[in-house]
Amino acid sequence: MKIDSIEMVRVAMPLVYPFRTAFGDDDTIESVLVRVTSGEQYGWGESASWKYPAYTPECSIGQFVVSREFIAPLLIGCDICSGQALQERLAGIKGNYFAKAAFDLAWWDLHAKCLGEPLWKVLGGQDPTVEVGADFGVMESVDRLIETIGAANQHGYKRVKLKYRPGWDLSMIAAVREAFPDIVVHIDCNSAYTLDDLDMFKRLDRYNLAMIEQPLGHDDLLDHATLQAHIRTPICLDESITSPDKARKAIQIKACGWVNIKPGRVGGITHALSIHDICQESGIPCWIGGMLESAVGASHCLALATLPNIRYPSDIFPSERFYTKDLSMPPMKHSAPSQFCASMNPGVGAEPDPDALARCALERVVLEG
Ligand code: OSB
Ligand code: MG
């Protein structure tokens, strides 16, 4: 498919309430949407590295500049026949995973539309129905958290993920376990700790958590392997897995028992598929994470979540949880309690609402071949 034009838009999407994690408290999500056009067809991609480089080293302003100055010029006018070919074309650009991802996702949407097939089928998904979990950030009190978990339980969620940071840690988990001895629960530390906290992690073993997500440095593998050797609870790597190569190395040194795959963090669907397959071959199960993207990015996540080695409820949410009005259409809606159904339409099945896109746009550029 020859890429005739590329549109890039950086947006700010106001949240209905602040999202509080070990890396900060955010009230707006910054994201970059990319549209690639080939003849009459077009595809949409999105990745959200956020405003501050606090989750990984990328941030939305940098993402936009790298997209405009370096990535789009390498793709415009080119005939790109596969996700692999797209990644090879961009191989000279180091890192910048989120920036590359939006283009890779747009290419996959375009490709699936040209085939006339839903994206999830093109990726090798077997069942469009996907199980998703409940997630809770840091709250004003543990009592409030326990109330909220109770409601999620009632709603039918099969697992709960809790953000975990200094001051919202062991005593919070002890209280949650006391209130809910049997629920499937895991914590996400967003790289807030070091091996100096080994004793704390050893104490966590008694709470029978499903996993501990990204306890140590955002780019670390080795210390995670050391920690994993000292604790029973499986580690799930998120931030540290930025490429298929990192996944291979993490598995080789036994740094984790699970991998959270986010298409943005790994440079797109092409590498998400490779990581999925590497993990599957090594007996490491995966699940899909998200970055509070609009329905375009979330629908790409949903397509990936239909793959066979996705073995834990994913982080995919109804739009209304985060946004008064989703920037993209159709908004994310449960198909049944704790489930979503991937779109049966050709492609990813979502695209920005033009008015909402214009309202949220911070900067926009179009490159013609
Ligand atoms: O670390 O998984 C993460 C959201 C934004 C950035 C990083 C992360 C997350 C999540 C998603 O945890 C959870 C949610 O969407 O509630
Ligand atoms: Mg995480």
Positive or negative, the CA dihedral 25, 27, 32, 33 is: positive
Residue 277 host element (H or E): helix 269-281
Distance from first CA to last CA of the chain, Å, rounded?
Answer: 13
CA-nearest residue, atom 8 of ligand 1: 291
**Alpha-carbon distance values, 172 to 2, 192, 215, 289 (Å):** 54, 16, 16, 23
pLDDT of residue 53: 95
d(CA 129, CA 200): 38
Per-residue pLDDT tens over the stretch 45-88 = 999 999 999 999 999 999 999 999 999 999 999 999 999 999 99
> What confidence score (pLDDT) does residue 40 get?
96
Q: Where are the domains of the chain?
A: 5-116+351-368, 121-341
Contact (Cβ atoms closer than 8 angstroms) between residue 275 and residue 241: yes
Q: What is the edge-to-edge ordering of all strands in the sheet holding 41-47?
A: 41-47, 24-38, 5-21, 361-368
∠ Cα 200 202 206 (to 5°)? 105
Q: Do domains 5-116+351-368 and 121-341 have the same CATH topology?
A: no
Three-state SS annotation for 15-83: EEEEEEECCEEEEEEEEEEEEEEECCEEEEEEECCCCCCCCCCCCHHHHHHHHHHHHHHHHCCCECCCH
Ligand 1 probe mutation, 15, 17, 19, 97, most atoms within 8 A of CB: 19
pTM of the model: 0.97
Query: Does ligand 1 have an atom closer than 6 angstroms to the CB of 135?
Result: yes
325 is catalytic: no
Q: Which two tokens stand for residue 171?
A: 């005593």
For residue range 8-38, list pLDDT tens digits in order. Answer: 999 999 999 888 877 788 899 999 999 999 9
| Structural contact between residues 161 and 135, judged by C-beta atoms closer than 8 angstroms | yes
Q: Could you list which residues have their CB under 5 Å from ion ligand 2?
A: 188, 213, 238
Q: Which CATH class is domain 5-116+351-368?
A: alpha beta
What's phi and psi for 366, nearest 5 deg? Answer: -120, 135
Instruction: Say which CATH topology domain 121-341 has.
Output: TIM Barrel (3.20.20)
Catalytic residue among 100, 113, 161, 163: 163
- Counting as low any pLDDT under 70, the low residues of the chain are none
